[in-house]
Structure 1
Amino acid sequence: MIIDAHQHFWIFDPVRDAWITEDMSAIRRNFLPADLAPVLQANGVDGCVAVQADQSEAETDFLLQLAAENSFVKGVVGWTDLRSARLDERLDHYAQFPLLKGFRHIVQGEPDPAFLLREDFCKGVKALARHDFTYDILIYPYQLPAAVQFVEKFPYQRLVIDHLAKPYIKKGEVKGWEENMRAIGKHEHVYCKLSGMVTEADIRNWKQADFTPYLEVALEAFGPDRLMFGSDWPVCLVAADYPQMKKIVTDFIGTLTPAEQARIMGGNAAAFYKLS
């Protein structure tokens, strides 16, 4: 089974979705399951994980409703305020929804490079284990040093790095990012998504070779048992269509064994998020 471990849905709101700027005109519109279903079918993808793009519980509820109505949406990564004094109550509430697999905070948008290490935030992440929720780590490379310490704090929490921590592919910078990713990869409870790469490259002039150094590091650091294919649809449409995004990954892993390829293209996501 092929699973897209990372995609989004939204009803476009220019105020709420201000991060979708004018130069991202390709995605300044609604994207719903009816838009994605034929794309997945055409690309031989059996299901997907819908990930939050807005930091509100309304977003979590919206994604859960879409997942309940569309069987190909196998799981949801939502948002709740992990720093809230009412967090236990909110987690108890969301635990009643089997399709809710975990949570994410848009840490890349936080000005504090050590946000992941804040005491109130870490207390919230620690609470996720009680309900077996996962946590998606969305950061930029300059936040990786904090992420190294963060993953060490939670050895029994299922964690995944989104978008390879958004390396500076357009600039061709590898060294600092690589050092931290290898440090994180030593922790076997941490996975990594092969997603989001095209929007970190030259969006109009990227080529497959631009991604190879980063994909090689990810494969060496995490191995084929802890990598997941993700499209980042529809955000990827700013730089690549769905077949191109999928091909970047499948071309790179083409020399691996069929079993290893199958894990990266779906098996690992199914295991990490406990999809059914």
Structure 2
Amino acid sequence: MNKIIDPHLHFFSLQQGQYHWLKHNPPGWPNLDRIRQDHLPDALFSLSDFSLEGCVHIEAGFDNEQPRRELDWLAQLLPASRYKAVSYAQIDAPAAQFRRQLEALKHPSLVAIRDITEGQDATRLLTPQVADNLACLSENGLHFEAQFELNQHNVVTQLCNIARQVPNLRIMLNHSGLVGQADSWLENAALLAALPHCAIKFSGHELLATPLPLQDQLTRLLDLFGTERVMFASNHPVCLIRHDYLGVWHQYLALCQQDNALWHRLSYANAKNWYGFNGS
């Protein structure tokens, strides 16, 4: 059986969490009815074909006013050895406020924070306080889950400048940088790849109307980041826009073209190393 660690998924409990973005202002996604329901761990930890050894739960708007509630809820669902958690904090908040947010989030499962900055919202990453807040993350042993389009050159330049000032800062770029077929992104990807503590998750392609062909994109990312800083991820349950969970992982397995060593790195070993899972 193929062992995997999924470094980007979401569990939902619509009764216990708020999920305003999904319940009250839902995106116009295909198959929304399949996504807008409870999604809990048991279904994924009893798969055929793949053995889910661990996962990284990415904040899903359970309660953005009190994001610690999501961490406490996850701790009731999963044994500590099987998951890590990425929570929410406002990355462009004033520095003192950001430190208070992190203090309130202290939890054994916490490894990183994410604040989605896609589209015009990416300009928030250009504000001066972001450098202080990213340094604060690094001081606390946490990394930054960055989510913006790779064609945003000013944002990439800003993050690179900050990373050079904070050499231990770890950055994980979500969803392959949301690269579409018409985007100019390779130069910016190369800038991020030059940072030794920056990695990228190969996921989120269902979010784009015209994603770059997956084999082409994977080849280019491996050329830039190497085989130890790219990892496959599902984005479950949002992946249901196009594929069910098993379908996503079978698609990734096919991309490795029977290269077992590459598959092991991208589906298991890299996520294990970057997110600090124990075990072989």
* Aligned counterpart, 2:66: 58
Change (3 A) 1:86 1:112: closer
Change (3 A) 1:184 1:229: same
> Hey, what's the Cα distance between the residues in 1 that align with 2:77 and 2:34?
26
Aligned residue number for residue 224 of structure 1: 227
Q: Is the 8 A contact 1:229 1:265 kept in 2?
A: yes
Match of 1:33 in 2: 41
Structure-2 separation of matches of 1:15 and 1:89:
24
What is the CA-CA distance between 1:112 and the residue it aligns to? 4.4
Q: Give the fraction of aligned pairs with identical amino acids, expressed as a percent.
A: 24
Asked if residue 104 in structure 1 is aligned to residue 104 in structure 2, the reply is no
Letter in 2 for 1:108: E
Q: Does 1:132 align with 2:141?
A: yes
What 5-or-longer segments of structure 2 have no aligned partner?
A: none
Structure 1 pair 22–45 and aligned structure 2 pair: CA distance change class (3 A): closer
Residue identity matched to 1:86: Q
Q: How many matched pairs?
A: 263
Q: Give the structure 1 partner of residue 4 of structure 2.
A: 2
Secondary structure in 1 aligned to 2:135?
A: helix
Which residue in the other structure is 2:50 paired with?
43
Q: CA deviation at 1:47?
A: 1.4
Q: 1:219 to 1:121 in 2, by over 3 A?
A: same
Change (3 A) 1:243 1:201: farther
Aligned to 1:16: 21
Unaligned runs of 5+ in 1: none
Question: What is the deviation of 1:193?
Answer: 0.3
In the alignment, what sits opposite 1:90?
A: 101
Q: How does 1:111-190 map to 2 (within 5 A)?
A: 111-154=120-163, 155-168=167-180, 172-174=181-183, 176-190=184-198
Give the 3 Å change call, closer, same or farther, for CA 106–112 of structure 1 in structure 2.
Answer: closer
Cα deviation for residue 264 of structure 1 reads: 1.5
Amino acid at match of 2:140: H
Deviation of residue 182 (structure 1)?
1.9
SS at match of 1:164: helix
**1:68 offset after TM fit, Å?**
4.5
**8 Å CA contact 1:67, 1:74 repeated in 2:** no
Q: Greater shift after overlay, 25-34 or 124-133?
A: 25-34
Identify if the C-alpha distance between structure 1 residues 33 and 178 changes in structure 2 by more than 3 Å, giving closer, same or farther. same
SS at structure 1 position matched to 2:45: helix
The one-letter code matched in structure 1 to 2:108 is P
Cα 1:74–1:187, aligned 2, differ >3 Å: closer, same or farther? same
Judge which range, 23-32 or 86-95, deviates more.
86-95
Tell me by how many angstroms 1:166 deviates.
Answer: 0.7
TM-score in terms of structure 1 length: 0.84
